[in-house]
Amino acid sequence: MFGLLFFILFTPGVSEFLCMSPDLEMSYTFCDSTAHAFMFNLTPCSMMDKSVWKAALTWIPRSDVTFLKVVFNVWYNGARALHWKERLCSGIDDEYSVCGKLKGETVATNFDIKGARMKFPK
């Protein structure tokens, strides 16, 4: 089974399960154990024969968003197959609309995730 762990921010905290299909399990983790007003949805919840996915994100940050880092890990058969880190907000000339949002201000966006899917042995 293909496992996908979606980590957000800096270091692991409490995980929340998002979806599961025969080829995909997805969850996210914030860096602390405090409850977050956060929702991420990926449609379809599958990697089979897909190269475009619809994503929806809703988040109410608990502090001003000056710095934001996303860490994306893909696990396959218990081994990490992909580790990707990206700083979305650095505090200077940021290109993403989430950057600069104020504490309590709702972030709500829909976007496509496009790309060739990774090939894994059966």
For residue 51, pLDDT over 50 is answered with yes
Position 100 in a domain: yes
Residue 77: CATH number of its domain: 2.60.40.770
**Beta strand pairing status for 79-89 and 107-114?**
unpaired
Other beta carbons less than 10 A from residue 113's beta carbon: 11
Per mean pLDDT, which of 67-76, 86-95, 109-118 is the most reliable?
Answer: 86-95
Distance of CA 35 to the CA centre of its chain: 17
Position 121 in a domain: no
Give yes or no for a contact between 66 and 45, defined as CB atoms under 8 angstroms apart.
no
Position 122 in a domain: no
Position 104 in a domain: yes
Unique residue bearing structure tokens 């270091």: 11
Position 93 in a domain: yes
Position 49 in a domain: yes
Number of domains forming the structure of the chain: 1
pLDDT digits (tens, 9 = 90+) for 74-107: 777 777 777 888 898 998 888 888 899 999 999 9
- List the domain range (segments joined by +) for residue 14: 2-114
Other beta carbons less than 10 A from residue 58's beta carbon: 14
